[in-house]
Structure 1
């Protein structure tokens, strides 16, 4: 099984939307998924509590840095995927979660603030590699992209990521009404009434392609050693060279 963490220290970057799309598409493919909702806003948990019963899905909430490690180690042997949705703030959970992950996904919108929040996560990943020899696979996923227009800001973000040799998933997550409706109506994407419309079909195709990209880069691993933050304390983020 694999532990996948969604991280960006800026709120509103699209972490929970990406986590929900990945989760519901994996469920559609008959995988068993445990989501660890570490965001104090509990957006994923609120969706789950109001959604119809999904027997292959479990959601853990009210997670702290000390309990995160225990929960991940317990769940990774019981479920096909463990997905961690982190808070959109600087938090001790960040170092704990990435140290337990088989892959870290960093959603970034086409804005400088989002890029800065993603850069803090990338800085931590580089720090762990450089200082502790802990190399954690990671990728950026461009989120809330206008499907019709590539903005100058988005082009600048793409250029910056390419120059820094940062892995970016081929499929961006588009800005689509159906993705917002999942939260408004507490339903999976394929259960929305709009799923049979042209726009709904495009949203499903976008989700499928995104999850295919994730599956192509995620390699399930054996149980990880204790997270870096749990053994030495959360490192101070440095600016990547």
Structure 2
């Protein structure tokens, strides 16, 4: 079982879309996937369009009030969801009040103790450095960094490099970065081409690579989310679906 965190400390980089692409893409290949939503916005949970108990979420797991296996809901034959709650906004304060030792290990411990059986666990995270992100990184084998071809997306990569270095030094020395995935890409613009080269340099800070695959800007992505369907259901022969497939193939070569 491989645990993958999708994260970038800059907001608006497509973390949730990337987590969904990865989850749906792996499931499309017959893999059993658990999507863990740690973002207080709960957009990934909302996108899955399944009912769940608002008192049985990842907030309760991270505060020690529920086991992971007790909050999981079934989405389809290959996808399960550990849903999020807006209460995750209070997580750092709650954990401080509970005076836990090494709270960044909570998720790792509950995954181990719950003895869940999946091919992959995909974790969607909030944009800011928080206990939720530290838990995700400590519990993971691999990090996937989504970004966009704009200058603002570069701002979060330096901070992320420092965070991952600290995690590797203290709580998860085996953590690896699978690569940087560029989303909402428009290859026709000169700017997108130039920023892609800058991202290649930024990848060196993270001791990783930029995936050759790019996820293009496409209205089908938003339309599929609005229809509560995966991109595979909504636009199975679309160019953006081809992009996602190419990325999944590239990702699976090493993961």
Q: TM-score range by the shorter chain?
A: 0.7 to 0.9
Name the structure, 1 or 2, with higher relative contact order (CA <8 Å, separation 6+). 1
Q: Are residues 76 and 113 of structure 1, via their aligned partners in 2, closer, same or farther at CA, if it must alter by over 3 Å?
A: farther
Stretch deviating more after TM superposition (79-88 or 121-130)? 121-130
Structure 1 residue runs of 5 or longer lacking an equivalent are 219-241
Provide the C-alpha distance between the structure 2 equivalents of 1:176 and 1:76, rounded to a whole number of angstroms. 39
> Residue in 1 aligned with 2:60?
none
By how many angstroms is 1:106 displaced?
Answer: 0.8
> Residue in 1 aligned with 2:225?
183
Q: Are residues 147 and 129 of structure 1, via their aligned partners in 2, closer, same or farther at CA, if it must alter by over 3 Å?
A: same
By how many angstroms is 1:12 displaced?
Answer: 1.2
By how many angstroms is 1:157 displaced?
Answer: 2.9
**Aligned CA-pair RMSD:** 2.6
Counterparts of residues 1-241 of structure 1 (less than 5 Å): 1-49=1-49, 53-62=75-84, 68-74=107-113, 77-130=116-169, 134-138=173-177, 139-151=179-191, 154-155=195-196, 157-161=198-202, 164=205, 165-192=207-234, 194-196=235-237, 200=238, 202-218=239-255
SS in 1 for 2:222: helix
Provide the C-alpha distance between the structure 1 equivalents of 2:169 and 2:19, rounded to a whole number of angstroms. 28
Provide the C-alpha distance between the structure 1 equivalents of 2:167 and 2:128, rounded to a whole number of angstroms. 19
Provide the C-alpha distance between the structure 2 equivalents of 1:170 and 1:45, rounded to a whole number of angstroms. 29
By how many angstroms is 1:93 displaced?
Answer: 1.7
SS in 2 for 1:195: coil
Q: Are residues 81 and 148 of structure 1, via their aligned partners in 2, closer, same or farther at CA, if it must alter by over 3 Å?
A: same
Q: Are residues 189 and 99 of structure 1, via their aligned partners in 2, closer, same or farther at CA, if it must alter by over 3 Å?
A: same
Give TM-score scaled by structure 2 length. 0.74
**What number of residue pairs does the alignment pair up?**
213
By how many angstroms is 1:53 displaced?
Answer: 4.8
By how many angstroms is 1:149 displaced?
Answer: 2.7
Structure 2 residue runs of 5 or longer lacking an equivalent are 52-73, 96-102
Contact kept, 8 Å, 1:36 with 1:82, in 2: the verdict is yes
- Which structure is higher in strand share? 2
Provide the C-alpha distance between the structure 1 equivalents of 2:203 and 2:236, rounded to a whole number of angstroms. 34
By how many angstroms is 1:40 displaced?
Answer: 0.6
Q: Show structure 1 runs of 4+ deviating over 6 A.
A: none
Provide the C-alpha distance between the structure 2 equivalents of 1:75 and 1:110, rounded to a whole number of angstroms. 39
Contact kept, 8 Å, 1:4 with 1:105, in 2: the verdict is yes
C-alpha distance after superposition, 1:113-171 (max 9, x if no partner): 32222322221122334567814110211222114335256245324325545322221
SS in 2 for 1:30: coil
Provide the C-alpha distance between the structure 2 equivalents of 1:27 and 1:155, rounded to a whole number of angstroms. 29
Provide the C-alpha distance between the structure 1 equivalents of 2:120 and 2:180, rounded to a whole number of angstroms. 19
